[in-house]
A and B are shown apart, each in its own frame.
Chain A
Amino acid sequence: MRLGNQQKKKGPSVKRALGSPAALNLMYLPVVILFILFLVYPFIKGVQFSFTNWDGYSQTYKCIGLRNYRRMFTDHDMLTVIRNTIIYGCGSTLFQNTFGLLFAMLLRKSSRLNAFARTLIYLPAIVSSLIMGYIWYFILELNGGALNDVILLFNGKAVNALANPNASVWILTGINSFQFVGVSMIIYLAGLKNIPHEYMEAAAIDGASPAQTFRTVTLPMLAPSITVAVVLNLIGGLKLYDVIIALTGGGPGYATCSLSTMMYQLYFGREDAGLATALGVLMFVMITLITVVALTALRRKELANED
């Protein structure tokens, strides 16, 4: 461990007298060890397995080079899964930020009614996603679902919402967004609170319309909140798992699988641990890339605003 190489920094003489501050770095040593054992080491192992034909339980397996990765980009099911994951990630991010900002603008003034509305909108975010999935199943199911009761009331024809795979992917995206929009809302509310009141007043005095004020004052001032909310939503959406298991189990076939649920099926269902780990590596690379790109773009925007 390179723990002792930052003592060159000059501190007040008191500090120097009482022993090196670098000794304090021992305090994060347990976390470093934990991360190496439970994140770094399994990750490296995973990369190794991704080049093999391991079935998940045998003692022997052999290296098959890049074949797992090639299968990923030629197999029809895999391409669907990758596409779904991107929809879950980017779609959720789009919805959660649009509606999160909308709700925050709607509820920015503090009143008892607004406080109650905020509480209600954030409430789903603390309920298990699995349970949220079940609740939406009660609403969407074909026979006796709450939605179909309403449709039938208006003499419509009952819909089997979860039978169509393409619709299901968007329904799942919608449910995930519905559940976690409160997170974005609270981040935006905090950001809005931080905008100095004088800015708004100055814009009003200059005769700016509410829309102009929003575009030229509010939005740029919210840049740090946008960055945080977008990154959190992306990470959450791209990892989507629980709600898919609860509602469609990834089906019909693999049509609504995300990379996460697909990996589970490959490992426990098809005993294809090699391909499962390759998928895991792909997911990591995808999330990292998308997050880093989003982060860089948003930070650049933040800096541009500061000038």
Chain B
Amino acid sequence: MKTDPKKFLRLSALFMVMSLYAVPFYILLTTSLKNQSDLSSKWAFPGYLYTDNFAMAWQNAHLGRAFLNNTIILVCALALLIVLGAAAAYPLARYQTKWNRFIYVFFVAAMIVPPLTILVPLYKIYVAIHAMDTYWGIVLIDVTFQLPTAIFLYTGFIGTLPKELDEAALLDGCSRFSVFFRVLFPLLKPVTASVAIMSGVNIWNDYQFSVFFMQQTQMKTFTVSLAGFFSANANHISWVAAGSLLGSLPVIATYLLLQKYFVSGLSAGAVKG
């Protein structure tokens, strides 16, 4: 068989890139499976089955409680994000007055506000209104910072739906608000899936906000627990690896199962509107 040199070059480049991207995950896996006394290289896969690291991480980093916190925050924040984001996008997509275009730019431009810029004042406000270490406190911040992307995606998607839909429903006697909630909202499923999955990953992985606003042991999210666990157990890296793997599994599983929604969400901006 004759080999095309160009194809060969392309394939070797591809395999090099792929191995490079596999390395971190491989190292995480081997590290998490090794006994503390096993001093073999991280490249060597352990020839025995050892899962104590996971149990140790689960107990000592209070991962059970942390995952519960993460789940509560995730569910509440996503519900709020989807309702607020989709509802806000509807008038912005359908009634493009000068004022509404300004509002749209204001909403989407909020994406560039660095969380740390408002951290110090927000911290003071949160202490004053007793929002520290509460679910609602962190949920509202998470929602605020995910809204720009959500509104961007929803507005773009609603713009592609035919206006005749709204008009027909209006003629049938729906009020303007029920046109949205009864007719359009169900049609937004694909973009809602993108918003839920992409923002969901961000909220699940959040560290910046949680480390400031969720400091009580009982209220820590998994990234905060893990960070504390790492600084306390810097010499037990196999425990940290196990905890990291556990914390990543939910998002990795979501990604592998629902990949197309990540792709469609990201692609939305690349196509000229």
**Which residues of A come within 8 Å of B, CB atoms?**
2, 5-6, 9, 12, 14-15, 18-19, 21-25, 27-28, 30-32, 34-35, 38-39, 41-43, 45-46, 49, 56, 103, 106-107, 113-114, 116-117, 119-124, 126-132, 134-139, 144-146, 149-150, 183, 186-191, 194, 224-225, 228-229, 232, 235, 238-239, 241-242, 245-246, 259-260, 263-264, 267, 273, 276-277, 280-281, 283-284, 287-288, 291
Q: What A residues does B162 contact at CB under 8 A?
A: none
Q: Does B218 contact A (CB under 8 A)?
A: no
Select the stretch in B46-54, B55-63, B88-96 that faces chain A: B88-96
We find that the number of chain B residues with CB closer than 8 angstroms to chain A is: 91
- A35 to B99: give the CA distance in the assembly, Å: 17
User: Within residues 124 to 170 of chain B, which ones have a CB less than 8 A from any CB in chain A?
Assistant: 124-125, 140-141, 143-144, 147, 151, 167, 170
Asked if residues A188 and B270 are in contact (CB atoms below 8 Å), the reply is yes
Select the stretch in B25-33, B71-79, B187-195 that faces chain A: B25-33
Q: Does B97 contact A (CB under 8 A)?
A: yes
Which among B23, B117, B240 is the interface contact of A43 at CB below 8 angstroms?
A: B117
Given contacts A27-B87, A280-B118, contact A32 B270 (CB under 8 A): no
- A254 to B259: give the CA distance in the assembly, Å: 39
Given contacts A27-B88, A30-B84, A191-B271, contact A56 B255 (CB under 8 A): no
Asked if residues A14 and B167 are in contact (CB atoms below 8 Å), the reply is yes
Q: Does B67 contact A (CB under 8 A)?
A: no
Q: How would you classify the secondary structure of chain B's contact residues: helix, strand, loop or mixed?
A: helix
Which among A25, A126, A134 is the interface contact of B241 at CB below 8 angstroms?
A: A134
Q: How would you classify the secondary structure of chain A's contact residues: helix, strand, loop or mixed?
A: helix
Q: Most B CB atoms within 10 A — which of A31, A46, A232, A239?
A: A31
Given contacts A21-B95, A126-B252, contact A187 B41 (CB under 8 A): no
Q: What 7 A-B pairs come out closest when comparing CB atoms?
A: A190-B267, A6-B97, A45-B121, A128-B205, A280-B117, A28-B88, A42-B118
Which among A6, A31, A134, A283 is the interface contact of B84 at CB below 8 angstroms?
A: A31
Q: What B residues does A291 contact at CB under 8 A?
A: 112
Q: Does B24 contact A (CB under 8 A)?
A: yes
**19 additional A-B residue pairs with CB within 8 Å, beyond A22-B97, A39-B110, A138-B42:** A21-B91, A23-B176, A24-B176, A24-B177, A30-B84, A31-B85, A34-B143, A35-B107, A38-B122, A42-B122, A49-B120, A126-B251, A126-B252, A135-B244, A145-B42, A146-B23, A149-B42, A224-B271, A277-B121
